[in-house]
Chain A
């Protein structure tokens, strides 16, 4: 292509954060293998989590210190303020996931577990940091393969294997759809980079082949973000997976998938968005995603009501939240992207916290059933308070992050068509459904605060670092809710700097 091919040094400089995390994973594996085999699990986990945490924090520190900016040819690696910001968010989510893994004793392969957490994170970082469809696919596979193994990691539990198999089969199919869609795009546009793709497709209208390409891509990513009707794996995977793995699937993986989906749609299919305004439908990806969003919100929320297991409830709630988050993408403007990222990041924090508390209950001899939470406020007051914050944030009660996230996403969606408030119909759906959701979140809190604990219930065992992690998550939810400006001012600046349109 006549471009100067970059030297290895430049590649390394641009991919430094990813390199640091990968190195941390290797160090961790080696340390665990060489020196920790005979040590007690508790300490092995602490050491492994510390190395993982240091790796992630090191990468964040690097990004803060060295403001590297640049793009590799064909958009293989795009290092700009926005991708760096999202990577930092992903790394923070991973650190927190590592902290809440401290108390879960489900495996002898401690080193491998934490290394896989990091590999998945590296995959997510590459995923958000590229505008090249091949690279997107490869990173997606790195994330997915790591997550399949993480799901199957509890070898003592048959459910874990079943969950992983389901996740793997669905995921494999999704990957096939994605690949098919991406190959069609390449065939149509002759390019593998998002912006040139849009330029090549511009003005051609939506021909049938492009429609198929869009639909295939949406199906593929629909699986990743667990949107209806591609959500079927989610409840089983969440329930069967070791709880910290489920937390990562619901948080970091969601953030990365939503972000890259937004990039593909807004950059790659710019011009093919159509319109989703009421009585003003124009074919394109916006109405397609609007329909998916509606189904996700309705089905996720209504089915969540019937769940007796809190992990399954969180899975269905995740489906519903996927629907809300899609609204940010549907706005198809900078504010929409900002609201989408704010939404999924704060949702990630909240859901890691919720899974952490579920994990603590499991460690205390429960199984994640609703009734296992009975009287939790008297067995673990601090964790219960945090769980209240997480549940209320998910329900969208101010001043927690979940509320502002919803407000921001809804305002962006309505504001995208201010003339006739065209997207208001979607927001009405979303608001109505979030009113429904309060019911089932309150059911969990009712068990925790209202129901009496079983007669022989003991205080929950939870180590100090674990509790600190959960409290940090809760604080994050409160602080980002009370001053959303902390995050959205950065987001706005980053988005302005990269010109997403």
Chain B
């Protein structure tokens, strides 16, 4: 059943290709329906969430090489499939204003979504890799055609970084296949195989870093800010929201589960890189003049927590990493939606210095409130999903490497600083008296007032549209729901850490 998330997206691509060229509205509706159908299927798969590994579909694909078309789920993949479903729908809502070559835009968009679903559902290493690479190309076109600042550079950089990462993975994959010698790519079977220590010693970093490049692992993160900034809003939402998770997921699914001994040996190095990423990303975000770059670097910082969680080698850290993947997917989506769609599409600038003079909080109260909520969530305040996730990662890291955990904690503090700085400059520039600006109350008023606010320069800003409001509400509701009741997801994630996939880790005395 969950396999239909992939097929529906591909069907959507096919239908879009058959549409006439100038039917932007029809293209949007087709895309929205495809994404919604995907989300419904995803929800239908997640809600009854049985523990353990559930086979979705298993067919012999290339028998002579022992490669199967094997789709299955555990709690980790269910979580991320759900994230993809939400992000896909919301991304379309925030690209409702795409008019230029709309049908191609949504076709590439859905192709990307299909690839992402595929990665999260694959339990055959070869199949996983196929979907993983499938997702690279649509990203390139989404950015190169519909992007903004430096789009061709950003798109090519992203494509090449991704491809270099997957080249490393491909080498590791072929070597793994040959060393196991069992003519199988089945992850469950490979996870049982005791790979020689000398092999794990080089295969682990190769595969982990190969996937890690896409997860924004420092110092290979530089594609992320440029790519995010160049991308059109929906694409940055997807990039930060789900594509970076592909990398983290691959690192967890393949590198961590197959090469536990290698992980043990490289644990410290990776953890240091992760923490450097957290602090570095946050510090750089603090100095950015471009609003979108702030969010771009914040993604690097937050993804650092995911990577840190992955190498803690304890349950709480791993579960925290997965939860952080979900949480950051939602929060980053929200942040990029505000910056790219609500602000940039209307003001045509992302310079914090210029935005400062625009009184956006007054002009676009809904955007301001949304961003306040997103900031609060992003800073990791209790009540939002980011808090639970990062806290779990920190606890896990505290058990494994206390010093690094403290440094990562400092990263959170810097996170508060850059978020507040961006918030203040973008929306509350030349702040007026604080008593009439309790932002949380603002949107209802403005919403009723018709929203014909004007920017500093007199040109009226287009009011926030309904699709944008719906999208923002979905994301906020999700992050709140997980923040207030994290067991919604943790009850799905944690049991899957005892599945046979993690047996290698257990046998090696870790976890």
- Residue numbers of A with Cβ under 8 A of B are 377, 381, 385, 392, 397-399, 403, 407-408, 410-411, 414-415, 418, 421, 424, 427-428, 431-432, 434-435, 438-439, 442, 445-446, 449-450, 483-485, 488-489, 492
Contact, CB under 8 Å: B179 / A421: yes
Contact, CB under 8 Å: B144 / A450: yes
Partner of B61, one of A377, A411, A450, A485: A485
By beta carbon, the residue of chain B nearest A410 is B174
Contact, CB under 8 Å: B160 / A438: yes
Partner of B164, one of A377, A403, A418, A435: A435
**Distance of A418 Cα from B175 Cα, bound (Å):** 9
Given A399-B134, A411-B178, A438-B160; A424-B171 close (CB under 8 Å): yes
Given A428-B171, A485-B61; A411-B177 close (CB under 8 Å): yes
Contact, CB under 8 Å: B178 / A431: no
Q: Which of B109-157 contact A (CB under 8 A)?
A: 126, 129-131, 133-134, 136-137, 140-141, 144-145, 152, 156
Contact, CB under 8 Å: B156 / A399: no
Given A403-B130, A431-B171, A435-B160; A446-B152 close (CB under 8 Å): yes
Taking the closest CB of chain B, its distance from the CB of A25, in whole angstroms, is: 37
Among A381, A399, A489, max chain B CB count under 10 A is at A399
Q: In the complex, which residues of chain A have a beta carbon less than 8 angstroms from the beta carbon of B126?
A: 407
Partner of B144, one of A403, A446, A489: A446
Given A438-B160, A438-B163, A485-B63; A421-B175 close (CB under 8 Å): yes
**Distance of A434 Cα from B168 Cα, bound (Å):** 11
Contact, CB under 8 Å: A485 / B62: yes
| Interface check B181, CB cutoff 8 A | yes
Taking the closest CB of chain B, its distance from the CB of A371, in whole angstroms, is: 15
Given A434-B167, A439-B156, A450-B144; A488-B64 close (CB under 8 Å): yes
- Residue numbers of B with Cβ under 8 A of A are 17, 21, 61-65, 104, 126, 129-131, 133-134, 136-137, 140-141, 144-145, 152, 156, 159-160, 163-164, 167, 170-171, 174-175, 177-179, 181
**Distance of A446 Cα from B62 Cα, bound (Å):** 33
Partner of B174, one of A407, A438, A450: A407
Q: In the complex, which residues of chain B have a beta carbon less than 8 angstroms from the beta carbon of A485?
A: 61-64
Contact, CB under 8 Å: B129 / A414: no
Taking the closest CB of chain A, its distance from the CB of B510, in whole angstroms, is: 26
Contact, CB under 8 Å: B134 / A415: no
Q: In the complex, which residues of chain B have a beta carbon less than 8 angstroms from the beta carbon of A484?
A: 62
Task: List 17 A–B pairs whose Cβ atoms lie within 8 Å, in order of A's numbering.
Answer: A385-B17, A397-B137, A398-B130, A399-B134, A410-B170, A411-B178, A414-B178, A418-B178, A421-B179, A431-B170, A435-B163, A435-B167, A438-B159, A484-B62, A485-B64, A488-B64, A489-B63
Contact, CB under 8 Å: B167 / A415: no
Q: In the complex, which residues of chain B have a beta carbon less than 8 angstroms from the beta carbon of A381?
A: 21
Taking the closest CB of chain A, its distance from the CB of B144, in whole angstroms, is: 5
**Distance of A381 Cα from B104 Cα, bound (Å):** 11
Q: In the complex, which residues of chain A have a beta carbon less than 8 angstroms from the beta carbon of B104?
A: 377, 449
Given A397-B137, A398-B130; A407-B170 close (CB under 8 Å): yes
Among B61, B131, B171, max chain A CB count under 10 A is at B171
**Distance of A293 Cα from B181 Cα, bound (Å):** 26
Given A442-B159, A450-B141, A485-B63; A421-B133 close (CB under 8 Å): no
**Distance of A470 Cα from B130 Cα, bound (Å):** 25
Partner of B140, one of A424, A432, A442, A492: A442
Contact, CB under 8 Å: A442 / B179: no
The 7 tightest CB contacts between A and B, nearest first, are A398-B130, A435-B167, A431-B167, A450-B144, A414-B178, A438-B163, A415-B178
Taking the closest CB of chain A, its distance from the CB of B12, in whole angstroms, is: 16
Contact, CB under 8 Å: B130 / A450: no
Taking the closest CB of chain A, its distance from the CB of B429, in whole angstroms, is: 36
Q: In the complex, which residues of chain A have a beta carbon less than 8 angstroms from the beta carbon of B177?
A: 411
Taking the closest CB of chain B, its distance from the CB of A89, in whole angstroms, is: 18
By beta carbon, the residue of chain A nearest B144 is A450
14 additional A-B pairs beyond A438-B163, A450-B141, A485-B62, beta carbons within 8 Å, are A381-B21, A398-B130, A398-B133, A399-B130, A403-B133, A408-B65, A418-B178, A421-B179, A427-B174, A439-B156, A449-B144, A485-B63, A488-B62, A489-B64
Taking the closest CB of chain A, its distance from the CB of B474, in whole angstroms, is: 31
Q: In the complex, which residues of chain A have a beta carbon less than 8 angstroms from the beta carbon of B62?
A: 483-485, 488
Contact, CB under 8 Å: A442 / B156: yes
Given A397-B136, A397-B137; A421-B130 close (CB under 8 Å): no
Q: In the complex, which residues of chain A have a beta carbon less than 8 angstroms from the beta carbon of B133?
A: 397-398, 403
Contact, CB under 8 Å: A397 / B134: yes
By beta carbon, the residue of chain B nearest A443 is B156
Q: In the complex, which residues of chain A have a beta carbon less than 8 angstroms from the beta carbon of B174?
A: 407, 410-411, 414, 427
By beta carbon, the residue of chain A nearest B166 is A435
**Distance of A483 Cα from B178 Cα, bound (Å):** 21
By beta carbon, the residue of chain A nearest B161 is A435
By beta carbon, the residue of chain B nearest A421 is B175
Contact, CB under 8 Å: A427 / B171: yes
**Distance of A63 Cα from B171 Cα, bound (Å):** 39
Contact, CB under 8 Å: A392 / B156: no
**Distance of A410 Cα from B181 Cα, bound (Å):** 15
Contact, CB under 8 Å: B64 / A492: yes
Among A398, A399, A445, A483, max chain B CB count under 10 A is at A398
Taking the closest CB of chain B, its distance from the CB of A54, in whole angstroms, is: 34
Q: In the complex, which residues of chain B have a beta carbon less than 8 angstroms from the beta carbon of A428?
A: 171
**Distance of A403 Cα from B129 Cα, bound (Å):** 11
Taking the closest CB of chain A, its distance from the CB of B19, in whole angstroms, is: 12
Contact, CB under 8 Å: B152 / A432: no
**Distance of A484 Cα from B134 Cα, bound (Å):** 17
**Distance of A418 Cα from B179 Cα, bound (Å):** 7
By beta carbon, the residue of chain A nearest B126 is A407
By beta carbon, the residue of chain B nearest A391 is B137
Taking the closest CB of chain B, its distance from the CB of A411, in whole angstroms, is: 5
**Distance of A435 Cα from B152 Cα, bound (Å):** 18
Contact, CB under 8 Å: B137 / A392: yes
Q: In the complex, which residues of chain B have a beta carbon less than 8 angstroms from the beta carbon of A434?
A: 167
Q: In the complex, which residues of chain A have a beta carbon less than 8 angstroms from the beta carbon of B129?
A: 398
Q: In the complex, which residues of chain B have a beta carbon less than 8 angstroms from the beta carbon of A397?
A: 133-134, 136-137
Taking the closest CB of chain B, its distance from the CB of A341, in whole angstroms, is: 14
**Distance of A415 Cα from B133 Cα, bound (Å):** 23
By beta carbon, the residue of chain A nearest B63 is A485
Taking the closest CB of chain A, its distance from the CB of B254, in whole angstroms, is: 16
Taking the closest CB of chain A, its distance from the CB of B456, in whole angstroms, is: 33
Contact, CB under 8 Å: B178 / A449: no
Q: In the complex, which residues of chain A have a beta carbon less than 8 angstroms from the beta carbon of B137?
A: 392, 397
**Distance of A397 Cα from B166 Cα, bound (Å):** 11
Q: In the complex, which residues of chain A have a beta carbon less than 8 angstroms from the beta carbon of B178?
A: 411, 414-415, 418, 421
Q: In the complex, which residues of chain B have a beta carbon less than 8 angstroms from the beta carbon of A411?
A: 65, 174, 177-178
Q: In the complex, which residues of chain B have a beta carbon less than 8 angstroms from the beta carbon of A492?
A: 64
**Distance of A485 Cα from B152 Cα, bound (Å):** 38
Contact, CB under 8 Å: B144 / A414: no
Taking the closest CB of chain A, its distance from the CB of B454, in whole angstroms, is: 34
Q: In the complex, which residues of chain A have a beta carbon less than 8 angstroms from the beta carbon of B160?
A: 435, 438-439
Q: In the complex, which residues of chain B have a beta carbon less than 8 angstroms from the beta carbon of A377?
A: 104
Taking the closest CB of chain A, its distance from the CB of B135, in whole angstroms, is: 10
**Distance of A121 Cα from B503 Cα, bound (Å):** 56
Taking the closest CB of chain A, its distance from the CB of B155, in whole angstroms, is: 8
Contact, CB under 8 Å: B175 / A414: yes
Contact, CB under 8 Å: B145 / A424: no
Taking the closest CB of chain A, its distance from the CB of B485, in whole angstroms, is: 39
Q: In the complex, which residues of chain B have a beta carbon less than 8 angstroms from the beta carbon of A418?
A: 178-179, 181
By beta carbon, the residue of chain B nearest A395 is B163
Given A418-B179, A421-B178, A432-B167; A450-B159 close (CB under 8 Å): no
By beta carbon, the residue of chain A nearest B134 is A398
Partner of A449, one of B64, B145, B156, B171: B145
Q: In the complex, which residues of chain B have a beta carbon less than 8 angstroms from the beta carbon of A424?
A: 171, 175
Q: In the complex, which residues of chain B have a beta carbon less than 8 angstroms from the beta carbon of A410?
A: 170, 174
Q: In the complex, which residues of chain B have a beta carbon less than 8 angstroms from the beta carbon of A488?
A: 62, 64
By beta carbon, the residue of chain B nearest A415 is B178
**Distance of A205 Cα from B179 Cα, bound (Å):** 31
